[in-house]
Amino acid sequence: MQVDHAGDMQIFYPGDTGYDDERSGFQTGLRHEPQVIFAVENAQDVEEAVRYAETHGHEYAIQATGHGLTTTTTGVLISTRRMNGVEIDPAARTAKAEAGAVWQQVIDKAAPHGLAPLSGDASDVGVVGYTLGGGYSVLAREFGFASDRVRGTEKVGDVITALEFELVEVDQVHAGEMFFDAGHAEAVFEAFHTWDLPDHVTPTLTTLGEVVRVTYASTKPFDIDHLRVAPRLSEELSAKPFAEAAGKPLPPHTYQGDNVLLNDLPLDALHGVRKMAANSSVPIFLGIIPLGGALKTEATHLLKLISPRLDVEKQHAEVFDVVRSFVVGRSRNFRYAVR
């Protein structure tokens, strides 16, 4: 049924030029199959879309970038990518971002004021989707969750049309990464596990096929000597503008992933997940984020798995099974193409 509407908002139906582009996002493995797409530009457009869905008994889904696509809709898709205004209030040290804004826009506008948002390792992720899932920033252990900084939300139905949040006074950060050949994984995992980590340092440990990567960031200097347990393929740690630590966009691709929050991660369990992931019948990239510091949560670690293909729930479950007795929850972020 055609939408009866008088404004300028673009509306797409299956078969229309632009329909496929509008429903496509960062995740190329699956796409929404909506009957109608509302390409909203302001809160009134969102109201119209929500009213249409409710009046016609359709469910509606929201898509900004598609990074966090889990289940697809056959009802109404509210595409927020055009609704992406960002305003900074330097005196109040706050930002206000519209529904479809991405972190890079906030970073760019905040930096001239010596301010930064609590964004993560990919600057093209949507501000609202990320923050709704807590938001594990590259400075998470120093400043807490992005969601802790929310000052206000504007909503229409389930759609957040604007989010206001505090920025942190961060200009330069000490950040970098080390790469090792995966043949040294056991020694690197052990060093990472036994690292006497200062509360202000946020590290991650990741396997990426043939390599193991450790990243780290803090506003204060710190020592990484403890991690030099094997030859490095590359190593870097330097003071740099926050924007350079905030992660560059990746090209869109197909991926499936999930995570668990753990209340402990003993060394033998860490080695257990490493081996299970490495020996899986499908490629599994594993990521560990130690929590604590300013992150007020009962969980001590977040374990995330990601594979560059779909239909790998069974293989991921085999890895999660190794740490089953420590699982206390799951983050809404780091869930990709899973129900």
Binding site for ligand FAD (CB under 6 A): 25-26, 62-69, 80, 99, 120-122, 125-126, 128-130, 132-133, 135-136, 158-160, 250, 333-334
Which C-beta is closer to ligand FAD: that of 258 or that of 322?
258
**Smallest distance from ligand FAD to CB 60, Å:** 10
Which C-beta is closer to ligand FAD: that of 132 or that of 260?
132
Cβ(110)–Cβ(95) under 8 Å? yes
195 Cβ contact partners less than 8 Å away, ≥ 6 residues apart: 203, 226, 227
Phi, psi for 176 (deg, rounded to 5): 175, -160
**Smallest distance from ligand FAD to CB 260, Å:** 15
Rounded CA-CA distance 205/270 in Å is: 11
| Vertex 332: Cα angle to 51 and 72 (nearest 5) | 50
Residue 85's alpha-carbon distances to 99, 130, 202, 218, in angstroms, are 8, 17, 30, 29
Which C-beta is closer to ligand FAD: that of 174 or that of 269?
174
Residue 83's alpha-carbon distances to 46, 145, 160, in angstroms, are 10, 24, 11
Rounded CA-CA distance 119/140 in Å is: 9
Which C-beta is closer to ligand FAD: that of 117 or that of 269?
117
Residue with the two structure tokens 């696509």: 69
**Smallest distance from ligand FAD to CB 36, Å:** 17
**Smallest distance from ligand FAD to CB 183, Å:** 26
Which C-beta is closer to ligand FAD: that of 216 or that of 334?
334
**Smallest distance from ligand FAD to CB 189, Å:** 21
Region for residue 337 given its phi and psi (left: phi exceeds 0; alpha: psi -120 to 50; beta: otherwise): left
**Smallest distance from ligand FAD to CB 138, Å:** 7
**Smallest distance from ligand FAD to CB 267, Å:** 25
Which C-beta is closer to ligand FAD: that of 66 or that of 176?
66
Which C-beta is closer to ligand FAD: that of 132 or that of 175?
132
Cβ(299)–Cβ(331) under 8 Å? no
> H-helix or E-strand containing 2?
none
**Smallest distance from ligand FAD to CB 238, Å:** 20
Which C-beta is closer to ligand FAD: that of 37 or that of 122?
122
Rounded CA-CA distance 38/13 in Å is: 9
Give the tokens for residue 71.
Answer: 């289940």
